[in-house]
Chain A
Amino acid sequence: MSGLSNFYRSAVGKKALMAVSGIVLFGFVLVHMLGNLKLYQGPEKLNAYAEWLREVGSPVLPHSGLLWIARFVLLAAVGIHILAATQLTLRNWQARPQKYKQREVLEATYASRTMRWGGVIIGLYVIYHLAHLTWGRPWVHSDFIPGDVYHNVVSGFQIWWVSGIYIVAQVALGFHLYHGLWSMFQSLGWWNSSNPQDWRRRFAQVFAWIITLGNLSFPLAVLTGLVK
């Protein structure tokens, strides 16, 4: 009997992997938001930061080496997260073949009830976001200049509906993070018995708000003309 395949076969194991991959992705969105704050320091700082992301790790690693390692880890985390979520969702949908005529929602938060479709929205948004500001595909960004991150962000966000997509996606991410961060403790069995409920909820709330407000500020700053 292989321990690892048994572990993955179980829903408890899948949830643990979702928690671990979720921590990786949470760390990424937090650092990504903090790094993007350089938008407020002007084009030189932001573009230098983007270039630094490629250079960091050299000469030990080749140019963009660390960046690719990070991308690989993120891709793996996304893959695990989506695969486990899909398998669990399909299994859970089968658990009640005959639905209730009437079932009230008692404690389940809006965030918890939108995890699945919220996750799908975030997944689609990530593809759009990559095409928009990383690959700079002409059909999503007509004025993309490779290497000039500041210009690409500002000219992109000046189109109101592009900003709209980002704003909707960040709100979806905020809800997803809130329930996800809180659930992570539960799935990994981290329980502070002295004050069980509060600090986990607080942690999830604080970081969901920090990341959401930080990310929302970028399109809003461009739309209001604060960043030009």
Chain B
Amino acid sequence: MRLTLHVWRQKNHDAQGRFVTYSMADASPAMSFLELLDVLNEQLTERGEEPIAFEHDCREGICGSCGVMINGRAHGPEKGTATCQLHMRKFKDGEVIRVEPWRSKAFPVIKDLVVDRAPFDKIVQAGGFISVNAGGAPEANLIPIPKPTAEKAMDAAECIGCGACVAQCPNGAAQLFTAAKVSHLALLPQGQPERTRRVQKMVDEMESYFGSCTNFQECEAVCPKGISIEFIARMNRDYLRGSI
């Protein structure tokens, strides 16, 4: 496959970034998108140029490290897929591909395609946990949880914190991420004692960094885990219940 890539290059947070165009003559349709960048980086290294910095870890779509805007879509053209699981067979021979980092005030670019997603950690630190006294692990089946509830909680817990929701949202809102983190605990019995305090702290933390939701549904469309905006409604309900 012949491909032309316009890739965002930026030395560091303070540097002025720009798009640099690279031509690739020998891309394989079986490559993942990250492997394409690997091959390009090999070529850049051989030419004595600085390789493109991008974030990656598991490369099997479950860690949430990778994630770039590909032709104006977070994680690229395939639905329900992280960048690492996107394969070049989804592109046409001769296609021009634009690669951009997530853009959000809360996610400053560290280098090239790598952004700092620390605000997601801050949101989780604000309340995305259950306080229990340390001790022996409790018997797993002591608290009965109905199957549909457990499934729903798992749907929310699927969130890998990649940041695609923020990246695609026209408002740069982090509602889908926060709602997923709030809901997977709020649905389970163990999450009940801190349910109200949790949602208020996490929403307050979220709002100190991000824009807010206007129900565009763009987040849902690019979420590699297909997390539903239903959870945003759940979060809103819990927040309002706690406030009134």
* Given known A-B contacts A10-B203, A186-B236, A96 and B214 have beta carbons under 8 A apart: no
- Verify B73–A106 contact, CB threshold 8 A: yes
Q: Report chain A residues within 8 Å CB of B203.
A: 10, 12
- Verify B212–A106 contact, CB threshold 8 A: no
Q: Report the number of A-B residue pairs with Cβ-Cβ less than 8 Å.
A: 133
Binds A, one of B20-28, B84-92, B139-147, B166-174: B166-174
Nearest CB on A from B76, distance (A): 11
Within 8 A of B (CB), among A64-107: 88, 91-92, 94-107
- Verify B236–A103 contact, CB threshold 8 A: no
B33 interfacial by beta-carbon distance below 8 Å: no
Nearest chain-A residue to B229 (Cβ)? A186
Q: Report chain B residues within 8 Å CB of A13.
A: 239-240, 243
Within 8 A of B (CB), among A94-148: 94-108, 112-113, 115
CB < 8 Å: which of A97, A107, A185, A189 contacts B105? A97
- Verify A100–B243 contact, CB threshold 8 A: no
- Verify A106–B240 contact, CB threshold 8 A: no
- Verify A100–B103 contact, CB threshold 8 A: yes
Q: Report chain A residues within 8 Å CB of B207.
A: 10-12
Within 8 A of B (CB), among A171-197: 179, 182-183, 185-191, 193, 196
CB < 8 Å: which of B73, B171, B240 contacts A92? B171
- Verify B19–A101 contact, CB threshold 8 A: yes
CB < 8 Å: which of A3, A7, A188, A196 contacts B236? A188
Within 8 A of A (CB), among B188-234: 203-204, 207, 210-218, 220-222, 228-230, 232-234
A41 interfacial by beta-carbon distance below 8 Å: no
- Verify A189–B216 contact, CB threshold 8 A: no
Nearest chain-B residue to A187 (Cβ)? B236
User: How many Å lie between the Cα of A3 and that of B204 in the bound state?
Assistant: 13
- Verify B215–A112 contact, CB threshold 8 A: yes
CB < 8 Å: which of A6, A16, A112 contacts B240? A16
CB < 8 Å: which of A94, A96, A102, A183 contacts B72? A102
User: How many Å lie between the Cα of A14 and that of B213 in the bound state?
Assistant: 11
- Verify B172–A12 contact, CB threshold 8 A: no
User: How many Å lie between the Cα of A191 and that of B230 in the bound state?
Assistant: 7
User: How many Å lie between the Cα of A198 and that of B168 in the bound state?
Assistant: 24
Contact size range, A: 35 or more
B238 interfacial by beta-carbon distance below 8 Å: yes
Nearest chain-A residue to B106 (Cβ)? A95
User: How many Å lie between the Cα of A99 and that of B170 in the bound state?
Assistant: 10
User: How many Å lie between the Cα of A63 and that of B104 in the bound state?
Assistant: 55
- Verify B233–A186 contact, CB threshold 8 A: yes
User: How many Å lie between the Cα of A7 and that of B207 in the bound state?
Assistant: 12
- Verify A107–B236 contact, CB threshold 8 A: no
CB < 8 Å: which of B233, B234, B239, B241 contacts A10? B239
User: How many Å lie between the Cα of A29 and that of B210 in the bound state?
Assistant: 34
Q: Report chain B residues within 8 Å CB of A103.
A: 69, 72, 168, 170
- Verify B100–A16 contact, CB threshold 8 A: no
CB < 8 Å: which of B71, B213, B214, B243 contacts A104? B71
User: How many Å lie between the Cα of A92 and that of B72 in the bound state?
Assistant: 19
B237 interfacial by beta-carbon distance below 8 Å: yes
User: How many Å lie between the Cα of A193 and that of B241 in the bound state?
Assistant: 18
Nearest chain-B residue to A3 (Cβ)? B243
Central interface residue in B172, B214, B229, B238, by most chain A CB within 10 Å:
B214
19 more CB-based (< 8 A) A-B contacts, given A91-B212, A183-B214: A7-B244, A11-B207, A11-B213, A12-B236, A16-B240, A92-B172, A95-B105, A95-B171, A95-B173, A97-B105, A100-B69, A100-B103, A103-B69, A103-B72, A104-B72, A108-B170, A186-B233, A187-B236, A196-B230
Residue pairs across A and B with Cβ atoms less than 8 A apart, 15 shown, are A12-B203, A12-B207, A12-B240, A13-B243, A88-B212, A100-B69, A101-B19, A102-B72, A104-B71, A108-B218, A113-B170, A179-B215, A186-B213, A191-B233, A196-B228
